[in-house]
Amino acid sequence: MARSNRKITIPVSIGYGLTDIMGGGAFTVIGAWLLFFYTTFVGLSPVEAASIVAIARIVDAIVSLFMGSFTDHFYKNALGKRFGRRRFFLLIGAPLMLVYILLWVTGMSFWFYLAVYLAFEVIAAMVLIPWETLPSEMTKDFNSRTKLSTCRMFLSACGTFLATFIPGLLIGYFGDGDPNAYFINGVVFAVLFMLCVFISWKVTWERELTPEMLEELERRRQPSTLVEKVAMVGRLFKEYASTLKVRAFRKHLAIYLFSFTAKDVYNTVFVFFCVYCLNVSSSLAGTLLSMSIVGLPVTLLAGVAIIKYGPSRLYVFAYTLMMLCLAGLFMVYQFPMDSKVTVLVVLAALYQVGRCVLEFTPWNVFPFIPDIDEMITRQRREGLFAAVMTFSRKTTVAIATFVVGLMLQEGGFVKGSQVQPEQAVNTIATLLFAGTAGLLIIALWQAVTFKLNKRTHKIFVDEVDRLKAHGAKKDVDAETRAIVEDLTGYSYDTLWCEEANNKARPAASATSLS
């Protein structure tokens, strides 16, 4: 049976999605605990700790840009032919997951922690970027891709739960002041990540090479001179910039970046907020974060809801619920109460419902973005879009983490101290409430006009298939024309052109952001 005709079963979807236990789990632990671990047990200042994350992720973001295009063209060499241009990186990345353990040792220098964290970020990008393209490789069907993405996000929710539950359990067992809890946590997760990535490599597949790819394989010539190599890099950056010409991708990227950065700010500050603002233990903070277990059933419900209601309504639901929970936390902070712990547990659970939908929706939308791009470029560029998303995400989280560290230090935070001055406490609270809510409001503004859903996607793909079958552009109906122009941001008449010099031009209704 041809690989393109293989069925997307539940076991296959689960096997594919296991890698997001690493994608969701590793960076949830890092986001929630790394700055706290480095400032409390390692002796780094808030700015030093935040700089490790920021520097590593900016360097990694640059590497990620090249990784997407690299995997798009990896079929041209012997390893790509034998193991696949995407899946090869899962195979070699699996054993390298053990580097994660070294993040959680004590007694080392700033440069050691920076080098280890940088190495892990690069390894994770080497795995995640090609892995994120696999739904587009394995099937074109909306429901099948949704099945893959739903299993992925369910397992990501499992990873997020484990990443909050296990550290809280270990901290409770060893005590708030014992760094061994963090090291053992690192060992457990490193082994788990290695197994998950290997299983994903084993059960997935890639689409057959198209005649165009084979033709390029025959005629390729690698750049030999410095001028040719510089020109090649220039063309690569031009290709990355071209992804932003797709209107649906611009909106998708804005929603993704602002909402995920809001979540990052919340995760980074939450343990500090619990310990220093609410005066509860770090193990209770871990327990509150472990309410992410509600994400398991919520992910399954979201898989049904995104088909029925579309991503725009899910975004509105998620962001509104999260902001209501922030308002509830503010009330607990301002007005002490006897039932504080119970209220915190309820608010934490509701927040995790919103967070789960926030994380679920963008990655269910992403596999359909290259379909929109195909109408403009007549190419399949999944790797480019995955790389741009990863680059943008890692750049923004690097900036956000550094800003949090800088504000903590400027706000008077004292490293290693169990009691913080009032100025530092107020800074932590401001970061949690104003930082998170402000970013969510911007994401909500973009989400309310996002038009990509199951219905519009089917109409769009049917039109692409019609044009591939040499259908006449003049036969397009009014609704299809409007949908194509809304999602691409280009005038329909200038799309799907045979001549290289007849370039698509923006539709009159398109705007620079939305």
For residues 207 and 138, the answer to whether their CB atoms sit within 8 Å is yes
pLDDT at 225: 67
| Right CATH for 18-208+227-452 from 1.20.1250.20, 3.90.1150.10, 3.90.700.10, 3.40.50.2300 | 1.20.1250.20
Instruction: Measure CA 495 to chain center.
Output: 30
For residues 440 and 319, the answer to whether their CB atoms sit within 8 Å is yes
Task: Enumerate the H helices of 133-141 as residue ranges.
Answer: 134-138
Provide the phi-psi class of 141: left if phi over 0, else alpha when psi is between -120 and 50, else beta: beta
Q: For residue 9, give the 3-state DSSP assignment.
A: coil
Domain coordinates in residue numbering, the chain: 18-208+227-452, 453-514
pLDDT at 512: 30
Instruction: Measure CA 400 to chain center.
Output: 15
Q: How far apart are CA 211 and CA 209, in angstroms?
A: 7
Q: How far apart are CA 368 and CA 314, in angstroms?
A: 17
The label of the residue with tokens 């689960």 reads 14
Tokens of 226: 């410095």
Beta bridge partners of 506: 490
pLDDT at 331: 92
Inter-residue long-range contacts of 376-380, CB under 8 Å, 24+ positions, other chains counted: 376/245, 376/246, 376/488, 376/490, 376/495, 376/504, 377/242, 378/496, 380/136
The label of the residue with tokens 């079958």 reads 469
If one counts every other C-beta atom within 10 angstroms of the C-beta of residue 201, the result is: 24
Q: Of 365, 230, 352, give the one whose Cα is nearest residue 303.
A: 365
pLDDT at 259: 94
pLDDT at 81: 66
Q: Compute the residue count for the chain.
A: 514
pLDDT at 271: 86
Q: What is the mean pLDDT of each run of 10 residues along the chain (514 residues)?
A: 65 89 83 84 87 85 72 67 76 91 90 92 86 78 79 82 84 78 91 93 78 59 64 78 88 93 90 87 83 80 84 92 94 85 92 89 83 85 79 83 88 79 90 93 90 86 88 88 89 74 50 31
The interaxial angle of helices 247-272 and 340-365, nearest 10 deg, is: 160
Tokens of 450: 């996002």
What are the counts of helices (DSSP H) followed by strands (DSSP E) for the chain? 23, 0
User: Position 198: which residue type?
Assistant: F
